[in-house]
Amino acid sequence: MIVVEDIAKKYGTTEALRKVSFEVGKGEIFGIIGPDGAGKTTLFRILTTLILADKGKASVAGLDVVADYREIRRHIGYMPGRFSIYQDMTVEENLNFFATLFNTTIEANYHLVKDIYIQIEPFKKRRAGALSGGMKQKLALCCALIHKPEALFLDEPTTGVDPVSRKELWVMLKRLKQEEITIMVSTPYMDEATMCDRIALIKEGMFMKIDSPAGIIASYNEILWAAKSDNMPKLLKNLREHKSIKSSFAFGDVHHVTVNEGFTVDELTEYLAEKGNTGINIYPIKPNIEDCYMRLAKS
């Protein structure tokens, strides 16, 4: 459904994308995972025919993104990171407008948007600019789906959205997958990666790894511990000073630590106690996608 071959893009001297290649199958949820500035939006804008790549080629639904750009726009839905719906128009007016652009009606594909539309329907006479962040995203998604696209591109759809709305969005995407709509979604939230069929971890315009979330986690081969103490900033500093510590990062209310083989929890506990740390608790843990990202980014 989506084929990308050696796509590259520069802005001045900054390489936004560097020889990116991948394929996405029909009905697949494919995630692009990485921080702001990694190149996610540039890639989406190329695939949705908004900008041209400097090198390489890409196709969506068998159509070339350069030669067939007009036709591609009939087959895709795009929800950019910034709210792109007309702020001065009401919810109902926005939906009717986007449906009209594609010579369809809200009723024709209502089954695709029903789950989300019923949540914003009570506000259908309200101007889009007056909606909450979560409601704006739901409206934008409805507008992107109203013509039943073959491929749906969602650029950071849950950024700045409350946890409940985030969960509802992913439930909706799982249902759209059953309609064989191909979904490409980007996010800086590593926890959302597990909701995808496959993911690509991107850093500074390059794909570090492409695999299923389970496959990426299974490839993690470091010794990983969680560490806590009464003074977490001091603990992190002391961890990074020890020669047997390979990496140490803050993860919520603990620090995730990778260590050299043969180094023990008792040895680390003793060292930290000598440095004046108290309330020390160190224990083995299983890696998550963020651990995998940090390891790949460091290598």
Q: What is the pLDDT along the chain (299 residues), one digit of tens a residue?
A: 999 999 999 999 999 999 999 999 999 999 999 988 899 999 999 999 999 999 999 999 999 999 999 999 889 999 887 767 888 999 889 988 888 888 888 888 788 888 778 888 888 899 988 888 778 888 888 888 888 899 999 998 887 777 887 888 888 888 888 888 999 999 888 888 999 999 999 999 999 999 999 999 999 999 999 999 999 999 999 999 999 999 999 998 999 999 999 999 999 999 999 999 999 999 999 999 999 999 999 87
Domains, the chain, with CATH or none? 2-217 (3.40.50.300), 220-298 (3.30.70.2070)
CB 182 within 8 A of CB 26: yes
d(CA 210, CA 199): 6
CB 78 within 8 A of CB 144: yes
Q: Which residues of 101-111 are buried (b: 16+ CB within 10 A; e: fewer)?
A: ebeeebeebee
CB 118 within 8 A of CB 129: no
Task: State pTM to two decimals.
Answer: 0.88
Which residues is 14 bridged to in the sheet? 11
Which residue has 């998550």 as its token pair?
288
d(CA 162, CA 167): 9
